[in-house]
Chains A and B, each alone.
Chain A
Amino acid sequence: MKPKTAKRLVSARSRAKPWQLRLYVMDETPKSRTALANLKQLCESHLKGRYHITVIDLLKRPHLAKGDQILAIPTVVRRLPSPVRTIIGTLTDTANVLVGLDLRPAG
C-alpha cells in the first residue's frame, strides 16, 4: 500500500526481505518530527539498507487509522517481518523500541 501523500523514505539498498515500517503521525508536529528522526536513526544503526519507512499523516488520510488499529500518535507499526509489532510514542527510549521491534530480547 502506497498512499499518495505518504513520504517514502527508502534505505540505500533493498535487500531480500526488507522491513516494512509505518509511522503514523498527525500533522507536522514536533512530536512527529522527533519520532521520525528517532526511527530513522535507529533503523540506520540496526537495519541499514533493509527497511522501508512509510509515513502516514492521519490528518490527510484519516480512514487509514482503522486498519492498523491506531489510537496513539505517533505510532510505529512493523508490518514485516511478521508478527505485526506496534510501538507508540516519540521513540525516545531506544532500548524500549528495540525490544518492541524484536531487535533485542526483552529484559
Chain B
Amino acid sequence: MKINARKYPASATLLPKCPTGIQGLDEITGGGLPRGRPTLVCGGAGCGKTLLAAEFLVRGAVQFDEPGVFMAFEETEEELMANVASLGFDLAGLIRRKKIFIDFVHIEPSEVQESGEYDLEGLFVRLNHAIDSIGAKRVVLDTLEALFSGLRNETILRAELRRLFRWLKDKGVSAVITAERGRESLTRHGLEEYVSDCVILLDHRVNDQIATRHLRVVKYRGALHGTNEFPFLIGGDGLSVLPITSLGLNHKVSSERIATGIPRLDAMLGGRGFFRGSSILLTGTAGTGKTIISSNFAQAAARRGERVLFFSFEESPNQIIRNMHSIGLRLEPLLKRGLLRFHSARPSLYGLEMHLATMFKEIAAFQPHVVIVDPITSLMDLGTVSEGKGMVTRLIDYLKAGQVTTLFTSLTQGGHALQQSEGGMSSLMDSWLLLQDFEGNGERNRVLYVLKARGMKHSNQIREFLISDHGIDVVDAYIGPSGVLTGSARAAQSSLEKAAVLANQQEAARLKREVERKRAAIERQISGLRSDYESESAELRRIAEQVGTSTQMLTTEQAESGRLRQADAKVAPGTRRHLHNGRRSL
C-alpha cells in the first residue's frame, strides 16, 4: 500500500460539521469543526490545547460513536491518560474497547543522526495503521511542532507536512492539530499555511492579576462563526466555552406576569408585576433597600413554587437570611425545600469572565425561574465599562433564552441615585426601578418609583416605602408645596387629612341622626293622627249604634202603646195570645 495523496472534488454543498461535544464550542462554530478536514488549534504554553484536543477525541468516541486516534508527540500514553482522567473519562476503558488509540511518537534529537534523503512515511504508516485498526473518524496530532525540533531538514519536513495534511483530508478524518503560538504568526513554525479550513486560537491572559482563558475562531472556511474572543473554562467536566447561547435577539417572549411580592409595587406595574423572562434593574444608593426588595421578589417566586437562584456578591447567604428574618421574611424554609439557592462569592475572587462562567454553570445546573444578582455593579467594577456591559449582555441573553426573570441590583454612588453609573446597562433592561433617599425634616426616607417598564402601563408616582417588622409597605407619598412629603411630614399631612376625614364623617353621622330623628317625629305625628281618627270613628260608630237602638225602641214602644190601647177593649186574652197578637201587629 502506497499512501499517495488523491484529490477528491470539494463538495459544493454546505460544509458538514463534526460536533466536538465541548460545551459552547459547537455553538460558536455552528455545529462543530469541519468534518473530514484538519483544524489547527494554536496557543501558548498551558492554555489548554491538549485538553481541547483530547476532549474532542474522547467526546467523539463516547458521545458520537466516532473512534479516534491520538498521536502524542509530547506526552506519553500514561501522562495523557492521567490528564484525561481529570475530565472524568475512562481512557483506559476506551482504549480496551478500541474506541481510542494512543500512539506516543518520541523524537529525541540527540539520538537521531541524519544522513541523506528521507521522508516521513513512517509517520504516515503509523497513523494509517492506527486509524485502520479501530476505524477512526477523528485524529489528534499533539503537537506536530515537536518534529521541527527533532528533524533538522526543514525542507523535507515542510514538504512532508503539506503531504500529511492532504493525506488526512483524503483519509476523510476530522483532525485536530495543535501548535505552539508564535511571536508574530499564529504558530511558531507557520503550520497555519497548511491548514486552511479552520483555525482556533487559545489564549491565557492575566489582567489585573486575574487570569482568564479565551478562545477565538480565527478562521472557518465556508461557515459562519462567532469571531469574538470567548472566555472558556477548564472545569471538572472538561472545557466550557462561553457564551453557551448564541448572541441573538431572537428569544421567545412571554406575556405572563409575575408578582413582585409587594402588592403595591405590583399595582404600580399595571397591577400585575413584571413580565416573565424580563430583565429588571433595581438602582439605588447604599441602604435604600435593594436587597430587601430582591429578597421579597425571591420569596414571592419561591412561594409560587418557582426556583430562585440568588447571586450575592456582597453578603453571605446566612447574613441575608438573618437580615431578612428581622423584617419578617423567612427564607430558610424555602432554602430547605430547595426552591431557593444562594451563590455567594467575593467579586475579587476571580475575573469577570470566570464569574460569568460560574454563573452560567450554576444556572445550567439549577435551572431557575428567577435569578437575582445582588449587586451587578460589584462585578462590573472588575473590568472596563465595555467588558462589564458585554458580560451583562451575555448574561441577559442567556437568561432570556431560558425565559428566566432576572433582577439586577445596582449600587449607585453619591447622594443622588440617578442614572450616572449605569454605563449603558439600563438600555439592556426591560424594567427599571429606582430607589432613592429623601432627606429633610431631620430624617431620611426611602422612596421608590418606576423609571421604565417596557410593554406595560406603569405608575408615574413616587411612592414612599417603609421597612418594618412585617416587611415592606409601599405607601403614597404626599406632594406638598415644597415637593414630595415623606416620613413624618407625610405622617403629619396624613393625620391632617385623617382629621378632616373624621370631621366629615362626624358631620355626616350627625346629619344622618337628624334625618332619623325627623322621620321618627313625623311617624309619631302620623300615629297620633291615626289614633285621633280612630277614636273619632269609634265615637261615630257608637253614635250610629245608639241612633239605631233608639229608633227600634221607639217603634217597639209605639207598638206596645198601640196594643195597650186595644187591650183596653178586649180584656183577658191569655199571655200567649197577648204575645201572639203583639207579634202579629209588628
Residues of A bordering B, CB below 8 Å? 24, 26-27, 31, 34-35, 38, 58-59, 62-63, 65-66, 69-75, 83-94, 96-97, 99-100
Q: Which residues on B sit within 8 Å (CB–CB) of A59?
A: 1-2, 125
Report B107-119 CB contacts with A as 1/0, cut-off 8 Å.
Answer: 1000111111111
**Contact B112 A86, beta carbon cutoff 8 Å:** yes
**Contact A70 B122, beta carbon cutoff 8 Å:** yes
Q: Which residues on B sit within 8 Å (CB–CB) of A70?
A: 122, 125-126
Q: Which residues on A sit within 8 Å (CB–CB) of B118?
A: 31, 72-75, 88-90
Instruction: For A58, give its contact among B107, B117, B121 (CB under 8 Å).
Output: B121
**Contact B115 A27, beta carbon cutoff 8 Å:** no
A105 and B162 alpha carbons, distance in the complex (Å): 36
**Contact B121 A63, beta carbon cutoff 8 Å:** no
**Contact B122 A71, beta carbon cutoff 8 Å:** yes
B120 within 8 A of A: yes
Between A24, A31, A58, A96, the greatest number of chain B beta carbons within 10 A of the residue's beta carbon is seen for A58
**Contact A90 B113, beta carbon cutoff 8 Å:** no
B151 within 8 A of A: yes
A59 and B126 alpha carbons, distance in the complex (Å): 10
Instruction: For B122, give its contact among A58, A83, A92 (CB under 8 Å).
Output: A58
**What is the minimal beta-carbon distance from A97 to any residue of chain B, in angstroms?**
5
A93 and B111 alpha carbons, distance in the complex (Å): 17
Total chain B interface residues with beta-carbon distance under 8 A: 26
Instruction: For B120, give its contact among A24, A31, A66, A73 (CB under 8 Å).
Output: A73
**What is the minimal beta-carbon distance from A86 to any residue of chain B, in angstroms?**
5
Instruction: For A96, give its contact among B2, B114, B125, B129 (CB under 8 Å).
Output: B114
Tell me the B123-168 residues at the A interface (CB within 8 Å): 123, 125-126, 128-129, 147, 150-151
**What is the minimal beta-carbon distance from B93 to any residue of chain A, in angstroms?**
21
Q: Which residues on B sit within 8 Å (CB–CB) of A74?
A: 118
A6 and B409 alpha carbons, distance in the complex (Å): 77
Q: Which residues on A sit within 8 Å (CB–CB) of B114?
A: 87-89, 96
Q: Which residues on B sit within 8 Å (CB–CB) of A87?
A: 112-115
Between A26, A62, A71, the greatest number of chain B beta carbons within 10 A of the residue's beta carbon is seen for A71
**Contact A31 B117, beta carbon cutoff 8 Å:** yes
**Contact A85 B111, beta carbon cutoff 8 Å:** yes
**Contact B120 A85, beta carbon cutoff 8 Å:** no
Number of A-B contacts defined by CB within 8 Å: 102
**What is the minimal beta-carbon distance from B539 to any residue of chain A, in angstroms?**
144
A96 and B115 alpha carbons, distance in the complex (Å): 6
In the complex where A62-B129, A90-B117 touch, is A73 in contact with B122 (Cβ < 8 A)? yes
**Contact A62 B116, beta carbon cutoff 8 Å:** no
Instruction: For A90, give its contact among B106, B107, B116 (CB under 8 Å).
Output: B116
B179 within 8 A of A: no
Q: Which residues on B sit within 8 Å (CB–CB) of A35?
A: 116
**What is the minimal beta-carbon distance from B150 to any residue of chain A, in angstroms?**
8
Report B472-491 CB contacts with A as 1/0, cut-off 8 Å.
Answer: 00000000000000000000
Q: Which residues on A sit within 8 Å (CB–CB) of B112?
A: 86-88
**Contact B105 A69, beta carbon cutoff 8 Å:** yes
A52 and B230 alpha carbons, distance in the complex (Å): 58
**Contact B119 A72, beta carbon cutoff 8 Å:** yes
Q: Which residues on B sit within 8 Å (CB–CB) of A89?
A: 114-118
Instruction: For B126, give its contact among A31, A66, A75, A100 (CB under 8 Å).
Output: A66
A sample of 11 inter-chain contacts (CB < 8 A) reads A38-B116, A58-B125, A62-B128, A65-B122, A65-B125, A70-B122, A71-B122, A71-B147, A87-B115, A92-B116, A96-B115
In the complex where A63-B129, A85-B111 touch, is A91 in contact with B119 (Cβ < 8 A)? no
**Contact B113 A100, beta carbon cutoff 8 Å:** yes
Q: Which residues on A sit within 8 Å (CB–CB) of B113?
A: 85-88, 96-97, 99-100
Given contacts A26-B122, A66-B129, 15 further A-B contacts (CB under 8 A): A26-B125, A38-B116, A58-B121, A59-B125, A62-B126, A69-B106, A70-B122, A70-B125, A72-B119, A72-B122, A73-B122, A75-B122, A84-B111, A93-B116, A97-B115
A9 and B151 alpha carbons, distance in the complex (Å): 29
**Contact A24 B115, beta carbon cutoff 8 Å:** no
**What is the minimal beta-carbon distance from B163 to any residue of chain A, in angstroms?**
13
B422 within 8 A of A: no
**Contact A93 B117, beta carbon cutoff 8 Å:** no
Return the 9 tightest CB-CB contacts between A and B, nearest first.
A100-B113, A90-B116, A89-B116, A92-B116, A70-B122, A96-B115, A73-B121, A62-B129, A72-B118
**Contact A73 B126, beta carbon cutoff 8 Å:** no
A91 and B115 alpha carbons, distance in the complex (Å): 5
Q: Which residues on B sit within 8 Å (CB–CB) of A85?
A: 111, 113
A66 and B105 alpha carbons, distance in the complex (Å): 8
**Contact B105 A71, beta carbon cutoff 8 Å:** yes
A8 and B112 alpha carbons, distance in the complex (Å): 24
**What is the minimal beta-carbon distance from B119 to any residue of chain A, in angstroms?**
6
Q: Which residues on A sit within 8 Å (CB–CB) of B117?
A: 31, 89-90, 92
B103 within 8 A of A: yes
A70 and B107 alpha carbons, distance in the complex (Å): 9
